[in-house]
Amino acid sequence: MNKYVEVLLNILYPRHCPACHRILKDQKMLICPECEQAFCRVGKDYCLKCGKPVKKQEEYCRECSGLCRSFDQGKSVFVYNGKLRQSLVRYKYYGCREYGDYYADAICRYMRRDIMRWQPDVIVPVPLTGRKQRLRGFNQSAYLADRVGEQFQIPVAHGLVKKIHNTKSQKKLNAAQRKRNLADAFRTEENIRGLTVLVIDDVYTTGSTVDAMARCLKAAGAEYVYFITLCTGQQ
């Protein structure tokens, strides 16, 4: 980009810190130095299936030990706590899209090894329903997927999976209800036989969303389905 255009853009739309929301003194940074440790990383004890933090010596979280998962494996960078929740609200609903650059950078940095190991052929962001996307103006997961794809030179398939039902908000439902609510929510008409797919989303809670995506992708022929989310809830 032209240097003057860049300077002008920085004045008109200054980049804010995704943790404290102050305008970044150095507009080339993605987070202020004092906030670099503001978000809590998932430690070394995590569920081998879904990446959720577990107690020491535990291999799987409660949910993964009791359920059969359609995805093969997944991981998250951060723990979904109050600070990150606030940050994501500003990112999703209040136009702070620049936060997405920091989130994507964190995914690339901390998930590099996993992405290299999984060797995905294609990245698929979790889609919103057409209506939701129109209302919100952008898909928060697609923004992250684009940047991760660019970094690792992996194609991002935006329209591959469509969300068709206007499913009820998942927040108020328990795990079984979530599963029912999401059954058939995702559809694809493509044949992706033999491909390894990496699903990207912002938040992982019970896993019902990525699991429904994985079921849809495997039904369309995907051989392996992995996922990365920016953050994960605790057990």
- What angle separates helix 82-93 from helix 99-110, to the nearest 10 degrees? 130
- What angle separates helix 99-110 from helix 140-152, to the nearest 10 degrees? 50
Q: At its nearest, how many Å lie between Zn ion and the CB of residue 131?
A: 31
* Interacting span for Zn ion (CB under 5 A) from 16-24, 71-79, 160-168, 189-197: 16-24
Check binding of 61 to Zn ion (CB under 5 A).
Answer: yes
Q: At its nearest, how many Å lie between Zn ion and the CB of residue 232?
A: 9
User: Using CB under 5 A, which of 32, 84, 104, 231 touches Zn ion?
Assistant: 32
Record the tokens describing residue 22, joined without a space.
């102050």
Amino acid at 119: Q
User: Using CB under 5 A, which of 30, 42, 50, 142 touches Zn ion?
Assistant: 50
**Which phi and psi (to 5°) does residue 19 adopt?**
-100, -50
User: Using CB under 5 A, which of 35, 88, 156, 212 touches Zn ion?
Assistant: 35
Check binding of 154 to Zn ion (CB under 5 A).
Answer: no
Q: At its nearest, how many Å lie between Zn ion and the CB of residue 48?
A: 8
Minimum CB distance to Zn ion smaller for 52 or for 215: 52
Q: Evaluate whether 161 touches 169 at the Cβ level (below 8 Å).
A: no
Q: At its nearest, how many Å lie between Zn ion and the CB of residue 148?
A: 22
**Which phi and psi (to 5°) does residue 100 adopt?**
-60, -30
Check binding of 19 to Zn ion (CB under 5 A).
Answer: yes
How many residues belong to the site for Zn ion (CB under 5 A)?
A: 11
Record the tokens describing residue 3, joined without a space.
């240097």
User: Using CB under 5 A, which of 10, 16, 20, 101 touches Zn ion?
Assistant: 20
Q: Tell me the chain's radius of gyration from C-alpha atoms.
A: 18
> What b/e string do you get for 66-76 counting C-beta neighbours within 10 Å, with b at 16 or more?
ebebbbbbbbb
Check binding of 49 to Zn ion (CB under 5 A).
Answer: yes
* Residue 169 per-residue DSSP state: P
User: Using CB under 5 A, which of 42, 46, 53, 64 touches Zn ion?
Assistant: 64
Distance CA 140, CA 126 (A): 9
Q: Evaluate whether 152 touches 108 at the Cβ level (below 8 Å).
A: yes
Q: At its nearest, how many Å lie between Zn ion and the CB of residue 137?
A: 25
Q: Where along the sequence are the contacts to Zn ion (CB under 5 A)?
A: 17, 19-20, 32, 35, 47, 49-50, 52, 61, 64
